[in-house]
């Protein structure tokens, strides 16, 4: 009996175990199926997009069938286009013609006070010795120089004696005429900037650092580009590391190449040589060379500039040597002019920063001292603020 009971109990246990196993198999399968099924999505099912026939790439916008339903949109993938490399913008500089007229207001701003002062003194009616002394002082304070001042006062005294008229319009006429004569309008102020025979014109730009030399070379390149010249720059100012970068930037703005050395403190003569060589090979119209004018002493300067000059002349003559002077430095500038002219044959002067000084008389003083004309004047820091010197426009700005 006991044995039968044991068999019954074991049988029940086996049966229960089999039932439990069967139930667990069914639930496990259902869970797996649930896990594999995609989640239900609200609104228009996304699978509508998936069901678009492959290859149908046109944009399709199905109007919604009822409010709230989303349109089915298939957007053609953008073809992959490599971004275009940034193009350097080459500027078209303003023509140099009539620039001094345009910039006259800048000159007038600083220099017309002299003109106004002179006009007020000379049209007082009674011109006594004291007034003439004031006239002299005004002229000397404009850096005209003692000699030119004496000449001008002498001429004005004679006119007053002869004519007697001292109304402002008459005096203005005299002043204009006498100042113009002092500025020597007949001097040849052209700059050689076209090919000479079968070689480019070569312009050497010299001057003390800080006078605006590099800036002037850059501005001059623009003036010449505006006149359709092919220009090449030589960065022979190897003394100041940033000068070559500065020059290169000026050139790049108007599509002008710069020959430079990658080495700081390289031999300026070697850079000048390479620039002229490249200019000859490229058949450009003009090569402009920026130099470092370290005014440590006259002998050093002569050695440096002399070497640059000799090395260039192995390949080409030098057509222009432009001396850059800062108009605000007065007598100091005149002293520099003297030293440079002894080191190298200066053919023209560039007077920079005339916009910032009432000392326009320096034009007369420096021309007299060197016997060479002022060819260009700097009238601001803008890229087109360099103008060919025009004696009439200059004097008009003073006596306007």
Ligand X SMILES: Nc1nc2c(ncn2[C@@H]2O[C@H](COP(=O)(O)OP(=O)(O)OP(=O)(O)O)[C@@H](O)[C@H]2O)c(=O)[nH]1
The alpha-helical segments, DSSP class H, found in the chain are 2-36, 47-50, 99-102, 104-122, 129-141, 146-163, 168-183, 213-226, 241-253, 268-282, 298-312, 331-343, 362-370, 391-399
Q: Shortest gap between Cβ of 167 and ligand X (angstroms)?
A: 36
Task: Find the binder of ligand X among 154, 177, 282, 381 (CB under 6 A).
Answer: 381
Is 207 known to sit in a ligand binding site? yes
Under 8 Å between Cβ of 122 and 171: yes
Q: Shortest gap between Cβ of 192 and ligand X (angstroms)?
A: 22
Task: Find the binder of ligand X among 115, 117, 145, 212 (CB under 6 A).
Answer: 212
| Residues numbered 264-293 forming contacts with ligand X, rule: CB under 6 A | 292
Task: Find the binder of ligand X among 225, 289, 379, 399 (CB under 6 A).
Answer: 379
Task: Find the binder of ligand X among 108, 202, 235, 243 (CB under 6 A).
Answer: 243
| Residues numbered 336-365 forming contacts with ligand X, rule: CB under 6 A | 352-353, 355-356
Task: Find the binder of ligand X among 99, 213, 229, 260 (CB under 6 A).
Answer: 213
111 binds ligand X (CB under 6 A): no
User: What are the structure tokens assigned to 248, written together?
Assistant: 């290169």
Count CA within 13 A, CB hemisphere, residue 283.
2
Number of residues located near ligand X, criterion CB under 6 A = 21
Of 44 and 339, CB closest to ligand X: 339
Burial of 209 (0-12, 13-18, 19+ CB in 10 A): middle
Is 161 known to sit in a ligand binding site? no
Is 353 known to sit in a ligand binding site? yes
Task: Find the binder of ligand X among 149, 211, 329, 336 (CB under 6 A).
Answer: 211
- Cα dihedral 142→146→151→157 (10° resolution): 70
Write 152-160 long-range contacts (CB < 8 A, 24+).
Answer: 152/178, 152/179, 152/182, 156/122, 157/132, 160/122, 160/127
Task: Find the binder of ligand X among 215, 316, 336, 367 (CB under 6 A).
Answer: 215
Of 240 and 368, CB closest to ligand X: 240
Q: How far is 124 from 397, CA to CA, in rounded Å? A: 22
Q: How far is 254 from 91, CA to CA, in rounded Å? A: 5
Q: Which residues define the annotated binding site for GTP?
A: 207-214, 290-294, 352-355
Residues that bind ligand X in the complex, under the rule CB under 6 A: 207, 209-215, 237, 240, 243, 292, 352-353, 355-356, 378-381, 385
């Amino acid at each position: 009996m006991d044995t039968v009971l044991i068999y019954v109990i074991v049988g029940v246990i086996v049966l229960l175990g089999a039932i439990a196993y069967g139930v667990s198999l069914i639930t496990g399968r259902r869970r797996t199926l649930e896990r594999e099924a995609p989640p239900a999505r609200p609104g228009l099912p996304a699978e509508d997009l998936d069901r678009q026939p492959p290859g149908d790439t046109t944009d399709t916008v199905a109007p919604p069938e009822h409010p709230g339903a989303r349109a089915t949109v298939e957007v053609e993938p953008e073809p992959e286009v490599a971004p275009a490399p940034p193009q350097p913008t080459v500027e078209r500089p303003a023509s140099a013609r009539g620039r001094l007229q345009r910039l006259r207001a800048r000159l007038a701003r600083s220099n017309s006070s002299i003109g106004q002062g002179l006009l007020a003194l000379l049209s007082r009616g009674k011109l006594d010795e004291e007034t003439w002394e004031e006239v002299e002082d005004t002229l000397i304070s404009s850096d005209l120089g003692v000699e030119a001042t004496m000449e001008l006062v002498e001429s004005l005294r004679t006119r007053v004696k002869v004519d007697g008229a001292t109304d402002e319009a008459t005096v203005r006429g005299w002043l204009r005429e006498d100042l113009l004569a002092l500025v020597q309008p007949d001097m040849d102020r052209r700059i050689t900037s076209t090919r000479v025979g079968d070689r480019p014109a070569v312009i050497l730009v010299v001057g003390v650092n800080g006078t605006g030399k590099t800036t002037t070379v850059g501005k001059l390149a623009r003036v010449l580009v505006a006149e359709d010249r092919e220009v090449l720059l030589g960065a022979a100012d190897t003394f100041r590391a940033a000068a070559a970068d500065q020059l290169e930037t000026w050139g790049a703005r108007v599509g002008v190449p710069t020959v430079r050395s990658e080495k700081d403190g390289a031999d300026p003569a070697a850079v000048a040589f390479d620039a002229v060589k490249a200019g000859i090979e490229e058949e450009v119209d003009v090569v402009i060379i920026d130099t470092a004018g370290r005014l440590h002493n006259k002998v050093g300067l002569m050695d440096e500039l002399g070497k640059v000059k000799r090395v260039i002349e192995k390949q080409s003559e030098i057509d222009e040597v432009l001396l850059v002077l800062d108009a605000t430095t007065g007598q100091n500038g005149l002293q520099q002019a003297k030293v440079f002219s002894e080191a190298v044959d200066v053919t023209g002067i560039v007077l920079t920063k005339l916009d910032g000084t009432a000392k326009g008389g320096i034009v007369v003083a420096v021309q007299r001292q060197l016997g060479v004309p002022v060819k260009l004047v700097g009238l601001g820091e803008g890229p087109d603020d360099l103008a060919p010197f025009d004696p009439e426009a200059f004097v008009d700005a003073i006596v306007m």
